[in-house]
Amino acid sequence: MFCFDEVREWPQERLEHLVKLGILQVGPFAEKVTCDACGKGHWEQVRWESSVRDTLGKRAYIQCMEEGPVHVPEIRLWQWIVDASAMAKRLAAAMDLSGTVEEVLAGMMWKLGRRRLAGRFRDVFLAMAASGEEARIADAAGRSLTTRDGVLFVVQLPKQDGLDRLTVFDVAQVVELGADGLTVDLDYIEDALPRDRAIKEDRIRSLPVPEGITWPEITLEPGESSLRVFARGQSWEIDPEDAGFADSRRKTGEGDKSYQILRFFALRRGRLPMEEVKVKDPKTRADGFRKQISNLRKRLGNLLAAEGESIRWDADEEAYTCCFKIRRAGYMNLPLPSDGSWMSYQIIERGDGRIAVGVKANRLRRTKEARTGETNAAEHQETLWHEYSLVDLGLARDVDRLLPEGRALVDLLQAGGRLARRGDDIAVLKLNQWLRDQTGLAGDPLQFSETTRVWAATFDCSSERRR
């Protein structure tokens, strides 16, 4: 409650504004007032005497030891009461809070709603209580907090602690009366809120992978702006930031270091010898990289509740190996052929338009002889087949829209490995580069003959599609 003697110090328009907002309401006449007749400022009880000269029909007096009865003009008895529930509603609106305003402690404390502040959702409270009520406030907050911690606005800073889940702000420090109503200094509040490591983990979406799944059952495909996850026939595509790989508190570089390493793993087919890490970035030190790997493990663990180890350190070979499968987005990621040449590849257009890629690779096969129980290991060659859609391969925008290099591949397959196009045909040159990138093999998969003026594939091409 504010008395006239306080309010008279304010700019007139400020009082009017607060009344208009409903935050201040005109209250009953004051029952006590300070004496302004003798200069001693003593505090006296008001008494009323009837008076026909006044519109109220009565007149207010106080008793002064020096001046006797002193008349108090009506205006000095005016008071304004703070309507806390109106203030709560105005604050909630000013902060764009969601939810409804609730009175959680009668006449004393309000839950204003919630919003994302400094990286996570927090409940916001307003307490209009004198100090000494901390225990009741903490108790009420504890009962109505739906977030891990919250924000508490007070009109008087609490003396004792006990509000550990709440960050306390003096309303006067963070709220201003602007031309359009109340404004709340959200930047100041966000800066003061606790920002621990756990905040980031809070924002991370964990994927609903089947319970008991192990890392080897998971495939990751980290693309530039999306991370695809495959597990037991299901797949998800998520924003790396939602997956917890970008740290929005840091502008660039450091924050998404984990994701860069994940993509580096994809490029290196899931295996990073320290030697290669040093080649890529000579400044990298082994202990620094170990820390980054440990960060990456943590982030992967938050995203996927899979059992076992996600990235293994092989001390003998000084290399990190992913225990999950990892591949570059839009890449075939085929095993290298045993002879390291394009001749070992076979590409077929299936009847349904999918692309089958076969590669001859050496495999070690163990056989156990039933009679003697002896095991024999023998290397043999087999063709491994993988199938892809042209969209998966990055050769088509969607089912019906082939990119020029995708068109060139399909034409090549349908023509049995020959293409009558110019030597500087951009689409063919692009396809050539694309094929080289897929495998990392040296040598051109497509070669142009100056004599026949035809492009010829050095791998086996065919199509099962009837036209």
Q: Burial-class residue 21 by CB neighbours within 10 Å (0-12, 13-18, 19+).
A: middle
The phi-psi region of residue 34 (left if phi > 0; otherwise alpha if psi is between -120 and 50; otherwise beta) is beta
- Quick one: 61 or 121, whose CB is closer to Zn ion? 61
Helices (H), 149-256: 171-174, 186-192, 197-203
Cβ atoms of 326 and 265 closer than 8 Å: yes
Q: How many whole angstroms separate alpha carbon 130 and alpha carbon 275?
A: 65
Cβ atoms of 206 and 303 closer than 8 Å: yes
Q: Give the shortest CB-62-to-Zn ion separation in angstroms.
A: 8
- Tell me the sheet residues that pair with 307: 214
Name the packing angle between helices 257-267 and 286-303 (round to 10°): 90
The pair phi, psi for residue 462, each rounded to 5°, is -160, 170
Q: How many whole angstroms separate alpha carbon 90 and alpha carbon 77?
A: 28
Cβ atoms of 137 and 158 closer than 8 Å: yes
Tell me which residues touch Zn ion (CB under 5 A): 35, 37-38, 64
Q: How many whole angstroms separate alpha carbon 146 and alpha carbon 167?
A: 15
Question: What's the sign of the alpha-carbon dihedral 220, 222, 227, 228?
Answer: negative
The phi-psi region of residue 225 (left if phi > 0; otherwise alpha if psi is between -120 and 50; otherwise beta) is alpha
What are the angstrom distances between the C-alpha of 323 and each of 209, 267, 312, 313?
Answer: 16, 15, 7, 10
Q: Give the shortest CB-80-to-Zn ion separation in angstroms.
A: 25
- Quick one: 35 or 77, whose CB is closer to Zn ion? 35
- Quick one: 35 or 446, whose CB is closer to Zn ion? 35
Q: Give the shortest CB-67-to-Zn ion separation in angstroms.
A: 6
Nearest to 460 by CA among 340, 343, 362, 381: 343
Cβ atoms of 461 and 417 closer than 8 Å: yes
- Quick one: 35 or 152, whose CB is closer to Zn ion? 35
- Tokens 């604050």 sit on residue: 91
Cβ atoms of 114 and 121 closer than 8 Å: yes
Cβ atoms of 80 and 19 closer than 8 Å: yes
- Quick one: 35 or 359, whose CB is closer to Zn ion? 35
- Quick one: 44 or 149, whose CB is closer to Zn ion? 44
- Quick one: 64 or 361, whose CB is closer to Zn ion? 64
Q: What amino acid occupies position 177?
A: L
- Quick one: 3 or 86, whose CB is closer to Zn ion? 3
Residue 290: which H helix or E strand, with range?
helix 286-303
- Quick one: 38 or 130, whose CB is closer to Zn ion? 38
- Quick one: 38 or 399, whose CB is closer to Zn ion? 38
Cβ atoms of 243 and 203 closer than 8 Å: no
Q: What amino acid occupies position 226?
A: S
Q: Give the shortest CB-42-to-Zn ion separation in angstroms.
A: 6
Q: Give the shortest CB-132-to-Zn ion separation in angstroms.
A: 33
Q: Give the shortest CB-199-to-Zn ion separation in angstroms.
A: 59
298: helix, strand or coil: helix
- Quick one: 37 or 192, whose CB is closer to Zn ion? 37
